Every structure is written in structure tokens, then in C-alpha cells.
Chains A and B, each alone.
Chain A
Amino acid sequence: MPWRAHRVEGTEGAAPDFAALLQTLALWLAMILSTTFGARAAVTETHRARQVGDPHATERYEGLAARVRHDLPAATTLGYFTDGRAENFYKFQYAMVPVVLNPDGSGKIVLGYFPAGLTSGSARLVAEHGLTMTRAMGDGVFVLTR
């Protein structure tokens, strides 16, 4: 049975029903609340953007990767070795595309990232993994070879 809308004769000008009134009022109230909360969120988020900045610091990794990419031989795969947080790998990988990083540190040329600088602990870690420090790129980034 086909069904479709059509205007029922005699309903125009009829007294509006309670449901329609209620739903229209609810729509207005929802609109006013949305406007209020939306404006409040704009103020809060502008403030947060000024105070907190990028929690992932992706721009910083872009800068580091740009420096490394200039000085490294053209390679499609590099090792990645760090004594810092594991999540930094994802940011380096994003910044280094199209180079692919091995998160297990394998490979002849390895990108070393030591956020706190080359401490005695990290130097020992590098030696334990059979790596040799070849070049310091600054800001905790080193080129290591195996």
C-alpha cells in the first residue's frame, strides 16, 4: 500500500495540539541551551589553546625530523631507538614519512632520541644494543650506527 503525505482538508486553521506546542517549546529551549553552552565552550577552548598549547608537540618533531632528513643518506627504512616515552615513536614516524622507522631499533642506521640528552644511562643502553654514536643532531637527536 503506497503511503505518502498530503494535506488533510479541514485541519488548516484548526486549534493547535498540545504536542506541537510542547515540542516547539522544547526545540526553543534546546536552541537556547546550545547557544549558551557553545559560546561558553568557545571562551574555554580559546583560553586552553593559549595556556596549554599542543599536548603532542607535533611541530617540535617536524622540526627535528626536518633536520635529520637533511643530514641522513637517502634511506627508506631507519631504526629508531629511545630511552624516552614509547609514544614519541608515532610522532617521529609521522614527521619522517616517507622514511619508515623500525620501532625495535633494528637496521644499520638508527635514529636515536634521548629527550634528556645523552646521559651515562642512555650511553650504556646504546652500547648494550651494539650501537655506536655517530653524530649529534641537537635537541636529544643522534645518528647511531650498528
Chain B
Amino acid sequence: MNALLASFSLVPPVLLGVGLLRWVGLAPSTRLVDITLAAGLSLPLGLGLSSLAHFALLQMMGLPLMASLALEMALAILLAAHHPALGAGWRPPKHDEATRGVVGGATLLLITTVSAAVSFVANLRRLPHGDWDAFAIWNLKARFMFHRPHSLGWLSYWQLKYSHPDYPLLLPGIVAQGWLMVGDAATAFPALIAALFVFGVCTTLMAALWKARGSFHALAGGVLLLGTPFFIRHGASQTADVPISSYILVSIVALWLCHRGEANPRLLVVAGCSAGLASWTKNEGIPFLILVILAAAAFPFRGADLRRRLTNGALTVLGAAPAIAVLSVFKITLAGANNILTRATWGNLAVWARWWLILRRVGQGVIGFGGWPLNPALLLLLSFALGRSRAAEQQASCRASVLLLAMLAVYVGIYVIAPDIEFHLDTSLDRVLLQLWPAWIFCLAAGVPTWPGSQTRMATGWRSRLVQRTVHPHDVHDGPPKN
């Protein structure tokens, strides 16, 4: 019952997320696809921003809970009130690219959803307080934040060093806020948050694919994600890997849409905001944030000149600014040293045996990822290798994949310098692959062309120049070229 009451604490964050999306112009109509996308994006963004507000106002300034909730509501109203003209920020899809296979896809999705729900509940019943990392790190911190809402002194206690005091506090903040609202640390509430993130990521993925490609691709993405046994099992363990995967997905979706040609610069603000929240979820989010900022500047969607590149990078930083500010305060004043970086051996970068071991293990991890006997996504990768299309969607997917590969390279680099290499590989490799998994599914599914059907091809060379003369880039979403 208390968990149900605590769920009311989710209302202001969700409204904040909706307000942000309206400001961006991503929820311009009452169409089902737009509403689904708004729901899918507003939940993680709103929860993340709410966690930032909670940390800043309660933990740092010692203000009451109402201050945090009031700020969230005020921001939601402010953002929603300043949204662009309806439809101005979003290019409406001309048609649903793929309508064939929808019935078959929907049937598979129904089976997969039921399987995922059964599996999720079974794991929750087995581990009501979550798996090891949940009660040793995330829920432990949430309990301290609940019992000591205006102090973070416990982060520096030597007795709690095992709980990694340097880990960011997005997930504990969300849980603690719900508990504070009802005055009881109900066990079911973190489980509810876990369910929201697991099925919320799926909603985000499906809505983004629906918006980007069509209903069949959305169904395919949903089936691939919910049909991943490890994703469901680990999602129920109440750790922060699925939440960070949610933020990585939102950033990738926003960048993908930019790369495909949505000339909406506010999408970069969303990409930056989500990447910033990823950095407030787990330390792995920090290199991701840097990569997103670099990607926004390196893959310009509105022109290649230096000024444009800098503007794109600045917009991404603007979106990430709240998270960067809070994370900086946390890291400088409260967080202890990172247990990997303090014991890192940089000379290991030159030890080729370590590189070989890690690459071999990563390769094995990718092939065996997900809890399947064989990763079905490899079939898609193989099909891409056998035949490439010049479709705009596939090129956008390639560009987003570069970012994900760079993130994978960062993980490999950290493994190389880390002490206890075997221990780290055994305990974290499948989890870091999981963090990128929904975004990989998005890139793969969005890159699959419609068959049979018409293609959307990328304008290059003389065609591009012709288009440039006839359509100004800023008019892309405003319909036909203006005279």
C-alpha cells in the first residue's frame, strides 16, 4: 500500500519530463505514436531530473521534500508554457514505412511481453531486495538517504567504503524521494522503479522505432529487447545498469534523428540531457557524456562549418548542464576515490596479452550475450555485412553505432588498466554490454530497410547540392520549400 502511495512521487517527475519534451517539440500532437514517444522519453528524463533536484535541494541545501516537488512542478509548467508552435519541432512522418508483418510481429510481441512479465515477477519474488549490488550499494544508499535526508556525511564512513561512495546517486535519489513522500521504506517501491525502467526502456525503444521507421520495426525492437532473458533478469535485480541503458538509448535516439535529417537543434539538448543523466546514474555515463558531446560536434547535421560544430556541441552541453553541475559538486565534495582508477596500472596499456585476453572475452561476451544460446542480433549484423544499403536510416544507424563502439572501446580500455582483470571481467562484462544493448537494438532495427517497399535514400554529391539549393536546411520540417 505504501509502495502504491509512494508511486505518487512519480507524478511531478513525469510532468517535468513531459514539460521538457513539449519545450523540445517532441510531443506535438495527440497521435498515438507521439503520445507513446512522449511517455517513453518523459519517464526516464523526468525521473533523472527529479533525482538531480532531490540531491541539490534536500541533500545539499537541507530544504524540505516539498521544495524539490514544487521546483519540479514549476519547471514542468515553465517548460510546457514555452513549447514551440505545435508541430514546428518535428517532421511528421509521411507514412508508416512498414505495415506488412505487423500482425505476425504483434503476436510475437504479445508472447514475449507475457514471458518477460512472468520472468520479471519470478525474479522479483526470488530477490525482493534485489541482487548483491542492489542491497550492497543502490538500495543501501537509498535507505541512508531516506533516514538521513539532509546529510551525506555517511558517504565518507570507512565502514561503508565497500558500497562505492563515488557512485552517482540517481537511482537511490529516485527511491528515497518516493519513500520520503510516504514516510516508509517500502520494499516494493524499488521493485516498482525497476519495473518502470525495464518496461519503460522497451516503451522508449518501440516508440522511437515507430516514430523513426514504422510499426513493424517498433514491434521487432520490442520483441528483441523483451526476449532478452538477461535484460529481464538483471532488470529485476534493482541495480543501475538498466536505468543507465535507458539514458544511453534516449541519447542515441536523439542523435540518430539528428543524423537522419531532423533539423531540430533541441534534439541535441535532449541528447545532452540524457547523457548527463547517464553520468548521474553510473560512472560509465561520464565517458558516454563526453562521447555524446564529441559526436554532436563531429557529425554535424546542419552544416559542417566550425561555428555549426561548436553550436551543436554547446547545445549538447546545455542539455547536460544540470547533471554536470550536480555531478561536479558530488565528485569534488563528497565522492571518494574510484576503486579502479586509484589502483589502475597505466603501464598495462602496453601489455598486449591483456588486450588479447580482454578482446577475446568481449568477443565471447557479445556472442553469448543475453542468456540466449546464441545472440540473435548477430544474424542482423551478419546480414548487414553481406549487403549494405545506402538508405538514410542505415547511414544514421552506422553513425550512432560508431558512438556505441567508441563506448565499448572505453570499457575495454578500463579493463586493460584495471587491477584484478579476471575478477572485473567475470563480474561486470555482461552488465556493461547490457548498458548498451537497447541502443544497439535501436541502431540495428532502425537500419533494416523495409522489404518489399520503397527506400529513403541519402542525398549525396550533386543530389545533395541540388537539394541544398531547393530546400533550406531550416525548413525541413516546415513542409515544402518556401519561395
B209-228 vs A, Cβ < 8 Å mask (1 yes, 0 no) = 00000000000100110111
One of B111, B140, B371, B373 near A93 (C-beta < 8 A): B140
Whether A28 lies near B101 (C-beta < 8 A) is yes
Residues of B within 8 A of A52 (CB): 126
- Residues of A within 8 Å of B228, CB to CB, are 34, 38
Name A52-106 residues within 8 Å CB distance of B: 52-54, 56, 58-59, 62, 77, 90-91, 93-94, 97-98, 100-103
- Interface contact B464-A1, CB-CB below 8 Å: yes
- B interface, how many residues as a size bin? 35 or more
- Counting CB contacts under 8 A, is B341 at the interface? no
Residues in chain B near residue A94, CB distance under 8 A: 129, 135-136, 139-140, 143
B380 lies within 8 A of A35 (CB): no
Nearest chain B residue, comparing its CB with the CB of A12: B454
Contact call A45/B122, Cβ cutoff below 8 A: yes
Query: Does B162 have its Cβ within 8 Å of any Cβ on chain A?
Result: yes
Chain B residues within 8 Å of A39, by CB = 111-112, 115
Asked if B159 lies at the interface with its beta carbon under 8 angstroms from chain A, I say yes
Question: Which residues 113-129 in B have Cβ within 8 Å of A in the complex?
Answer: 114-116, 118-119, 122-123, 125-129
Q: Are A48 and B126 in contact (CB under 8 A)?
A: yes
> Which chain A residue shows the least CB distance to B128?
A59
Determine the distance from Cα of A28 to Cα of B224 in the docked complex, in whole angstroms: 10
Contact of B459 among A4, A19, A20, A28 (CB under 8 A): A4
B377 within 8 A of A: yes
- Please tell me if A137 contacts chain B, counting CB pairs below 8 Å: no
Given contacts A31-B108, A33-B372, A41-B232, whether A16 and B135 have CB atoms under 8 Å apart is: no
Q: Which residues does chain A contribute within 8 Å of B223, judged by CB atoms?
A: 31, 34-35
Chain A CB count within 10 A is highest, among B104, B128, B135, B144, for: B135
Q: Is B7 an interface residue (CB 8 A)?
A: no
Instruction: Give chain B residues whose Cβ lies under 8 Å from the Cβ of A22.
Output: 383, 386-387
The answer to whether the Cβ of B376 comes within 8 Å of any Cβ in the partner chain is yes
A54 to B382, CA, bound (A): 40
Q: Which of A4-29 contact B (CB under 8 A)?
A: 4-8, 11-14, 16-29
Contact status of A5 and B119, CB under 8 A, knowing A23-B384, A34-B228, A100-B160: no
Q: Are A54 and B227 in contact (CB under 8 A)?
A: no
Residue contact B454 to A19, C-beta cutoff 8 Å: no
Expressed in whole angstroms, the Cα–Cα distance for A103 and B261 within the complex equals 57
CB-defined contacts of A37 to chain B, threshold 8 Å: 227, 229, 371-373, 376
Is the CB of B147 closer than 8 A to any CB of chain A?
A: yes
Candidates B131, B260, B377; contact of A4 at CB < 8 Å:
B260
Q: Which residues of A contact B352 (CB under 8 A)?
A: none
- Given pairs A27-B383, A31-B108, 16 additional interface contacts (CB within 8 A): A2-B468, A5-B260, A5-B392, A7-B456, A8-B455, A19-B389, A27-B448, A30-B379, A34-B112, A35-B108, A41-B229, A48-B126, A56-B127, A59-B128, A98-B144, A103-B159
- A-B pairs, top 3 by smallest CB distance, nearest first, are A19-B387, A34-B227, A4-B261
